[in-house]
């Protein structure tokens, strides 16, 4: 069992925040285990948050992400990062089709790609121009949709990363590992005169290429995830402003936004 930190140890601001957060989690866990009936309703949590100066709308958004806690940013076991990115936001209120031009401009500037926009009534769809064919092994596969229906506007962004994963792992592990087979067998059998050493050498080389592929794919997926997150944040802000312009109300606040299911990155 690990000993407790010495009383004279000093903690920086980040460590203090982590300690307090962890202590609060432990306290909550123990209280729920000892007194199951003490669990709070969403309304009670919102009231506590309001007294603490926290917007109740943020509490509702956070509570909705608990519905599917395991899906957020879930990496693929073999690739080490999500092979499919999905982000979704829902904003209260509908927007006019006249606002689609502003949204297309935001998408193009953020993605650095003119893409292929299309409008069907109150639905805006945008597809990355580099796709050409969904089955091609090159180019990004990004789809954006903005749908106004039933009193809400749903923004959804998806990007498929399986093509990148296949290219990296196939090229590095298959090409590098397979190409080194003759060399490793030659060294193991010819120099070391040991079939076991030959196998170990090949596994070591192939494993090295595998780790390299995981590292490169992880960095690529992370970069694209941040870009799509930035894009959906900008679109959500613009949609909220568009709703406010369409339905001005005295004393009305900016329409709240909710995230049913949260932002997800689903593995294939």
Q: How far apart are CA 185 and CA 6, in angstroms?
A: 54
Tokens for 168? Answer: 């990296």
Q: In this structure, what token pair is assigned to residue 229?
A: 């997150």
CB contact at 8 A, 257 and 90: yes
Per-residue pLDDT of the chain (268 residues; tens, 9 = 90+): 445 555 677 777 777 777 777 777 666 666 555 555 556 777 777 778 777 777 777 776 666 555 444 345 577 777 878 888 999 999 999 999 999 999 999 999 999 999 999 998 889 999 997 654 444 434 788 999 999 998 899 999 999 998 888 888 777 766 665 555 555 555 655 556 666 666 666 566 666 778 888 889 889 998 999 999 999 999 999 999 999 887 655 444 454 544 544 454 544 4
Compute the distance between CA of residue 79 and CA of residue 225 in angstroms, rounded to an integer. Answer: 15
Q: What is the DSSP letter of 139?
A: S
Looking at the whole model, is its pTM more than 0.85?
A: no
Instruction: List Cβ neighbours of 225 (8 Å cut-off, separation of 6 or more).
Output: 73, 82, 85, 265
Quote the tokens at residue 109. Answer: 């500037």
The DSSP-derived string for 30-64 is HHHHH-GGGPPPHHHHHHHHHHTT--HHHHHHHHH
């Amino acid at each position: 069992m690990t000993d407790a930190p010495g009383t004279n140890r000093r903690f920086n601001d980040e460590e203090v925040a982590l300690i307090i957060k962890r202590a609060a989690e432990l306290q909550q866990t123990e209280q729920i285990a000892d007194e199951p009936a003490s669990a709070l309703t969403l309304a009670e949590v919102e009231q506590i948050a309001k007294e603490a100066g926290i917007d109740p709308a943020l509490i509702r958004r956070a509570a909705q992400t608990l519905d599917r806690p395991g899906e957020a940013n879930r990496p693929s076991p073999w690739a080490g990062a999500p092979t499919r990115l999905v982000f979704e936001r829902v904003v209260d209120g509908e927007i006019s089709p006249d606002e689609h031009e502003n949204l297309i401009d935001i998408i193009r500037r953020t993605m650095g790609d003119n893409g292929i926009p299309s409008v069907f009534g109150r639905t805006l769809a945008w597809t990355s121009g580099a796709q050409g064919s969904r089955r091609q092994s090159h180019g990004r596969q990004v789809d954006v949709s903005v749908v106004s229906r039933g009193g809400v506007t749903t923004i959804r962004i998806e990007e498929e990363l399986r093509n990148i994963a296949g290219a990296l792992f196939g090229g590095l592990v298959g090409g590098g590992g397979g190409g080194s087979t003759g060399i490793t067998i030659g060294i193991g059998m010819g120099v070391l005169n040991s079939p076991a050493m030959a196998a170990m050498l090949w596994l070591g080389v192939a494993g090295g290429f595998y780790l390299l592929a995981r590292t490169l794919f992880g960095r690529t997926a992370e970069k694209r995830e941040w870009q799509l997150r930035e894009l959906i944040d900008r679109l959500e802000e613009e949609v909220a402003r568009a709703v406010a312009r369409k339905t001005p109300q005295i004393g009305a606040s900016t329409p709240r936004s909710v995230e049913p299911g949260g932002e997800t990155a689903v593995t294939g």
